[in-house]
Structure 1
Amino acid sequence: MCFVTGGRAGMRPMDHSVLKCCLFSLFLLTVSASGTLSNSAVPTIQPLSNTASASQPANTATSSSATTPSCTTRRCLASMLIAKEARSPPQSPRCISIIRVPSIVYETLSVDTKNLRFESRLEVPLSWEDPDLSWNTSVYHHDVVVLPVSKIWTPELHVTNGVQTTMKHGNKDLLVHSNGTIEHMVIMNTVVGCEVNLYNYPFASDFCAIALNVWAISGCGMFLDFGNVSKTSANRGDWLTEEVELNAKGGRDDRNYLWVSLKMRSENPFLSLVLPSILIILADVGSFSLPLGESKRIPFKVKLVLSFIMFLNILKDLLPGGGQCSPIIRKHFCFCLVILVLSTLQSMVLTRLAKCGTLWPCSLSKSKDSLLKDTDNEEVSKSDITVIKLKASEEKKNTALQKVVKFLDKMAAQDQKKARRHRLANKVDLICFCIYLTVLIVYAVVILYFSFGSSCEINHLEFCEY
């Protein structure tokens, strides 16, 4: 602080020093005032800057958590997808889910001609989309994850005309792609009731259908989009799988079926069923060469009939079942049995004719023979009386010679009669043989025509008529 003393004359020498003192004092006051203001503002401004600096890392952490995934491994991603519990079908805006079937591997397991059923095995890969199981690959750097099949919904296929169908998963896991596409495989064993056309058995061939579909009603549900079909193990027992095609009844997507072409390998059935019956018939034809009067033909024919009946009883399980088109082989066996029995009866009748000269029953013929014998005895007794009288009258000469001559004449007459009966029986037997052989030739032509030139039609798609 500066003080001025003295008068006007005394102040001049002190002007510059006083001015400097006043400026310095003013500077000090200004500095002290600014220091006081700054000290009083620090407690108020400093907390705001601390709050701003604290909020900055929080915002940074929030944005960082929004761009950084909570887990980076496939297992963690799989657990996150499982937690969604997607156990219901995908719900699209059109209420339609397309199940793609890229390929089907078909195999015929067995063909039951007795019960008219056949069993097959199908390997069916499936693919469908579920948007709820998709994820962003820029956040989760994985294109595919493996999920347990028990935690995710899978489509269920069914066979419309199946008698018994079992479907199992080809694996306990499935693949899920980042765009929501799911890949899986199922294995189906199905027994289908198919009325196989056995009209030309054992030269049979036919088609059978396997209606493979999924659930759909009133335009809502699932529809199958098929690819190609292939087959494995074409030979199954006596049946050969020639071709497998995929068709749709009436062009509708909900009536899909596999059209399986089957053909029978006729070697084994022909050798075990048809050939033995032909050989038995040929043996019966050869039995006509046996003579009638020696009683050898009838036992042989009876053995043939019994052998054929035993043959049918043994092979009855191999014979195909009936149905809309009954197999010709059943009629063939019936014809063979009837012709064998008729041939045996014909031989019995002709043997009777050759021996007795009559077709009357045994009791009547015996009574007639006894009557003839009594007449002969009566004639003999009368001749004896005559001889006795001649003996008495002519001194009993030449009586023994007359008896011998009469006996020889009688034997010659009987031999001639027997020869006539045999000639008649042989002529009738020859006529019966010609008729028998003609019937067999006509039958052979007819059976060959029906076996190869005739057919029977069966509607295998009757289950689709709804």
Structure 2
Amino acid sequence: MVLRLLLHLTFLGHGTIRPLIQGHGFHLLVVAWPSLFDLSSPQEVQDTIQIPNNGSAPLLVDVQVFVSNMFNVDILRYTVSSMLLLQLSWLDTRLAWNASVQPRRAVTLPWDSLWTPRLNIQEALWVDWKDQSPQARVDQDGHVELNLALTTETNCGLELLHFPRDQSNCSLSFYTLSNTVTESEFQAHVVNKIVSVKREYVVHDLNAQVPPQWLEPCFQVMLSLKNTALKSITALLVPGEALLLADLCGGLLPLRTTERIAYKVTLLLGYLIFHSSLVQALPSSSCNPLLIYYFTILLLLLFLSTIETVLLAGLLARDSLEDKNSPSPALRGGQQDYENLGPNPEEAPRRAKGSRSSWAEAADHIFFLMYVAGVVCSQFIFAGIWTWETCKSDPAPGRAAPRLQPMP
């Protein structure tokens, strides 16, 4: 096979060359130092290729971030998983060629054959780059465009004080360690490409920014997450309020019936199980969700109601037992004592027994009214705390070491 070969060499600086080879179905464009051809690994090639020179100004790398999906928001681990597409573009004049000599407008090159920014994500726990060998598109004027698709799981400082009506901001900080801010800088833009919102957390705002005072070139993508709260309201708030209402209805049962104690104790045991499941389902932090305190107060109210029922019912049962075991008035004293009881000796014990019963029932009625008022007041107080309470998480002891998740 006859191969047409066109080789154009241009010396740049300290011996850097730019060969352009054209053949039948074969194009190759390489930027390298002379010793580069002796290197075997792509990492060594990347370490040898120098960043394009932009004079006294740093090289501007334009980044378009397309957020295509956001899923698996784990409030216990404070993590968020997302799918992104990065479109990076910059100008490398060393890759430009003469259009009259080579009429081809653009070529496609392996990413490891030219300089590319080596991106890391500071908050990442893991990163899955979809294309392990991405291709870069180079125009005849030296304009380079590189597309990177990735799925990542990152840490997020979720603000769960008002869970399940919480809103949080999560950041993804992309940076490169191969260059300094004097050599390159990023100009980032973000586009929301999420089309499915059938999940508990949804993205209601996106923005990109370049944080100041970074020693490395960096840009951040900010995701504002909002909880739709439907699942949490159904699974947490409705059962809690239902148990509280059932406890209030239990106070209408007569105090003398044994079913009331069994009813109260059953509610208390059921609420203990529910409260244990709730605590395990919510995270712990310096700003715990208000729901934890709310359901703990409901637990104390239910416990207080059960204790009141047990105590009063126990006192009545004890008095009734003493009346059954006490001897008759004739056996307890002489005839004089028996006569002192009046014309109806059984009237005094019945009157004393009736007074104790009436006192217990009156105390139970007063407690029930106070309990209802306390429950209603607790709901209004919690609503006020929910509206006005704010909490700022404890500051980090220091800036954490970045998690290196290099491009493939």
TM-score by length of 2: 0.77
Distance 1:176-1:70 versus aligned 2 partners, 3 A rule: closer
Counterpart of 2:66 in 1: which secondary structure? strand
Deviating more after overlay: 167-176 vs 332-341: 167-176
C-alpha spacing 1:306/1:452, structure 2 compared with 1 (3 Å): same
Matching of residue 334 in structure 1 with residue 334 in structure 2: no
Partner residue in 2 for 1:285? 248
- 1:188 is matched by which residue type in structure 2? L
SS in 2 for 1:302: helix
CA drift of 1:293 comes to 1.3
Within 5 A, what are the aligned runs for 1:296-315? 296-315=259-278
Match of 1:136 in 2: 98
Which of residues 143, 151, 169 is equivalent to 1:181?
A: 143
Structure 1 counterpart of 2:366: 431
**1:262 is matched with which residue: 218, 225, 229?**
225
1:57-456 → structure 2 map (5 Å cutoff): 72-73=22-23, 75-78=25-28, 87=46, 88-92=49-53, 94=56, 96-169=58-131, 172-215=134-177, 219-233=181-195, 235=197, 237-250=199-212, 254-317=217-280, 319-357=281-319, 372-373=326-327, 377-379=331-333, 409-456=344-391
2:193 & 2:392 partners in 1: Cα distance? 26
Question: Counterpart amino acid of 2:373?
Answer: T
What's the offset of the Cα at 1:132?
A: 3.6
Partners of 1:164 and 1:71 in 2: how far apart?
A: 39
Distance 1:197 1:162 in 2: 19
Q: Structure 1 residues 208 and 76, CA, compared in 2 at 3 Å: closer, same or farther?
A: closer
Does the CA-based 8 Å contact 2:127-2:153 persist in structure 1?
yes
Q: Residue 79 and residue 230 in structure 1: after superposition, are their counterparts in 2 closer, same or farther (change >3 A)?
A: same
1: CA distance, partners of 2:121 / 2:138:
27
1:196 to 1:152, Cα distance in 2 relative to 1, 3 A: same
In the aligned structure 2, how far is the partner of 1:312 from the partner of 1:229? 42
Q: How many residues align?
A: 371
Query: Where do 5+ consecutive residues of structure 2 fail to align?
Result: 1-5, 9-18, 38-44, 402-408
Supply the AA of the counterpart residue of 2:177: W
The change in CA–CA distance for 1:324 and 1:233 in structure 2 (over 3 A counts) is farther
> Partner letter of residue 219 of structure 2?
N
Q: What SS is found at the alignment partner of 1:310?
A: helix
Q: Using the alignment, how far apart are the partners of 2:386 and 2:331 within structure 1?
A: 65
Residue 148 of structure 1 contacts residue 174 of structure 1 at CA under 8 Å; is this kept in 2? yes
1:460 to 1:206, Cα distance in 2 relative to 1, 3 A = farther
Q: CA deviation at 1:348?
A: 0.9
Structure 2 residue identity aligned to 1:114: L
Q: Which runs of 5+ in 1 are unaligned?
A: 1-63, 359-364, 387-401
Report the Cα offset of residue 436 of structure 1: 0.8
Q: Which amino acid aligns with 2:308?
A: Q
| Contact kept in structure 2, 1:166 and 1:189, CA below 8 Å | yes
Deviation at 1:94, TM superposition (A): 4.6
Following superposition, the deviation at residue 338 of structure 1 comes to: 1.1
1:464 deviates by 7.2
> 3-state SS of the aligned residue for 1:430?
helix
Distance, in Å, in 2 between the alignment partners of 1:65 and 1:156 is 30
Considering only aligned residues, what root-mean-square deviation do their CA atoms show, in Å?
Answer: 3.8
Distance 1:465 1:89, change over 3 A: same
Secondary structure of 2:353's counterpart equals: helix
- The structure-2 alpha-carbon separation of the partners of 1:202 and 1:376, relative to structure 1 and needing over 3 Å to count, comes to farther
Shift of 1:106: 4.9
Measured after TM superposition, the shift of residue 376 of structure 1 is 6.0
- Give the percent of matched residue pairs that are identical in Structure 1 and Structure 2: 20
**SS, match of residue 213 in structure 1:** strand
| Larger helix proportion of the pair | 1
Structure-2 change in CA distance of 1:347 and 1:412 (3 Å):
same
| Distance change >3 Å, CA 205–CA 235, structure 1 → 2 | same
Q: Quote the offset at 1:214 in angstroms.
A: 2.4
3-state SS of the aligned residue for 1:202?
A: coil
Cα deviation for residue 171 of structure 1 reads: 6.5
2:218 & 2:29 partners in 1: Cα distance?
Answer: 38
- Structure 1 245/456 Cα, relative in aligned 2: closer, same or farther at 3 Å? same
Give the Cα separation in 1 of the matches to 2:397 and 2:178.
20
Q: What is the SS of the residue equivalent to 1:289?
A: coil
User: Alpha-carbon deviation of 1:423?
Assistant: 0.8
Taking a change above 3 Å as real, the CA distance of residues 96 and 215 of structure 1, as seen in their structure-2 partners, is: farther
- The 1:273/1:110 distance shift into structure 2, 3 A limit, reads same
What SS is found at the alignment partner of 1:277?
helix
Q: Mark the CA change 1:460 to 1:178 in structure 2 (over 3 Å): closer, same or farther.
A: farther
**1:13 corresponds to which residue?**
none
